[in-house]
Structure 1
Amino acid sequence: MLAQQHIVINGKHQNPIVIDVTYTENKTNLPVIIFCHGYKGFKDWGAWNLMAKEFAKAGFCFIKFNFSYNGGTAKQPIDFPDLESFGNNNYTKELDDIETVIDWVFNNEDVKKMSNTNNLSIIGHSRGGGIASIKAEEDSRVKKLISLASVSDFGSRMTALCDLESWKQTGVTYIINGRTNQQMPHFYQFYEDFKANEERLTIKRAVSNLNIPHLIIHGNNDTSVLMDEAENIHLWNSNSELQIIDGANHVFGANHPWKKEYLPSHLKEVVKKCLTFLMK
């Protein structure tokens, strides 16, 4: 029988990290997967819960979490009630969050009883794919990496947000959330943090230095992150494996809210390809 635990842990930057752990009860030695959501995302977006259950059925301990400054709260982890936190998010905070979650996996007795912490993989979607790639390169506890519709360059996305001089002068720029109609702020600290840590935050550097198995999955109908980015990541890491989902969009056919009891066909194909890779 599948079980899911909901846990709140302390982050390194005041805000808590909200975690779900999905697994099959009374099983031990389960390989661990940590899933990182993307930009304007959260752990319960769309069909991610159904995806978690599919991995748990296949014999994995599947952990997904909200980045501590993603705009959600412990009481309301879905959508973005805390836009102040969203505006104060940055890439290094997200890297700290993943580290905190990995530390928690290795130190939590319940997780340690059911799982094999020496078999830990990270899956990252979109912006989360870039964050996962950097953390996988710098943390030897990560044994495999999967990039789903991942971005390949934070720098170009940073400069595309707005005019940098105007951003500096006003201290904030806004991005509209097409689904919630919220004006979502990015405070100028986001750019300052990126520039101060640019070498570390270069995805090309990270994936070029990876020495663990790396699966790249991308849809060829992705209009948010183009196929070129997947091809670049694959080029930079000669040991990576690129799998293209024909006709798939950025979220592999899902949307939010996802009210069906089954995965969209493209996301189902993603899970299948991930399991084949992870079970090698």
Structure 2
Amino acid sequence: MIKKNNILERPHKKPILWDAFYESNNTHKPLVIFCHGYKGFKDWGAWDLVAEEFLKAGFFFVKFNFSHNGGTMEQPIDFPDLDAFAENNYSKELEDLDDLINFMLSTENPIHTEINRNHITLIGHSRGGGIATLKASKDNRITNLISWAGVSDFGKRTATSGELEQWKKDGVKYVLNGRTKQMMPHNFQFYEDFKTHEKRLNIERAAKSITIPHLIIHATTDPSVKFNEAEDLHRWNPNSKLFPIPSSDHVFGASHPWKDKTLPKPLQNVVDKSIEFINH
């Protein structure tokens, strides 16, 4: 069963668009929630094929768009709503994830009977890896944490750093999206929110407090988030497992759009390792 583009309405907040991949047999399946990264979205590249792999392995797999990622309910792919993108921040993404988890486990979710509420894995890619780590460190409902090319420090990201005086003066700064050629706006509130909640948004602090099974997967030649960030995460939580992917990139050989019917080998390796880790 694949249910795409479900809408989670939230009073006084932007709605969240989510997909579910699962076998409809009224048995309680482990829940896996996937968090996309910066300038990402749930329908990027090969993410649907990834979701199908988890479905075949017996999981209830959910992927979603963060509410301010720049997509809309009508057009979830790419970034038609740059005003929303400009108002995004890490705190909003944590709140989105919390609201989604609460909904998935609640009776308001018409398919909650398919979910094992005692077996919840968070997977985050890139920036989503940081969000998943922060969430897992504070939420005792989470039973496994997996980071794919995850970041280790929000303070060093392009969205949070650089030319602060000019950014504050202008109220907005722009980052080029190399694929869509859009100039993506970040309002200064992004930095202000980060500084206000800097302690809560400290990934090192979060990683050091993780006590659940924790898998870190990272390409050794990742040009976007360097492999040393994975080594940092592993050092901060020595009980974690670090799984290097040799000679691959930030998205493990995938791209957008992804036309093939199968996953690129590095990403298939990532998925296989993740499923094996959750099962054991």
CA distance in 2 between partners of 1:159 and 1:24 (Å): 39
The answer on 1:198 being equivalent to 2:190 is no
Segments of 4+ in structure 1 off by > 6 A? Answer: none
Asked if structure 2 preserves the Cα contact closer than 8 Å seen for 1:12 and 1:97, the reply is: no
Give the partner amino acid of 2:131: I
CA distance in 1 between partners of 2:63 and 2:223 (Å): 25
Q: Secondary structure at the match of 2:34?
A: strand
The answer on 1:253 being equivalent to 2:256 is no
Give the partner amino acid of 2:269: E
CA positional deviation for 1:26: 1.8
Structure 1: which 5+ residue stretches go unaligned?
A: none
Superposed, 1:136-147 pairs within 5 Å as: 136-147=136-147
CA distance in 1 between partners of 2:218 and 2:184 (Å): 27
What's 2:270 paired with? Answer: 270
Q: Secondary structure at the match of 2:111?
A: helix
User: CA offsets, 1:175-208, max 9 Å, x none?
Assistant: 0101110000000000000000000000000010
CA positional deviation for 1:158: 5.0
What's 2:45 paired with? Answer: 46
The alignment's C-alpha RMSD in Å is: 1.3
What's 1:83 paired with? Answer: 82
TM (normalized to structure 2)? 0.97
Query: Could you say if the C-alpha distance between residues 171 and 47 of structure 1 is closer, same or farther in structure 2, counting changes exceeding 3 Å?
Result: same
What's 1:242 paired with? Answer: 242
What's 1:183 paired with? Answer: 183
What's 1:33 paired with? Answer: 32
Give the partner amino acid of 1:3: I
What's 2:20 paired with? Answer: 21
CA distance in 1 between partners of 2:175 and 2:159 (Å): 13
Give the share of equivalent positions with the same residue, in percent. 53
TM (normalized to structure 1)? 0.97
Query: Could you say if the C-alpha distance between residues 12 and 256 of structure 1 is closer, same or farther in structure 2, counting changes exceeding 3 Å?
Result: farther
Q: Secondary structure at the match of 2:132?
A: helix
CA positional deviation for 1:35: 0.2
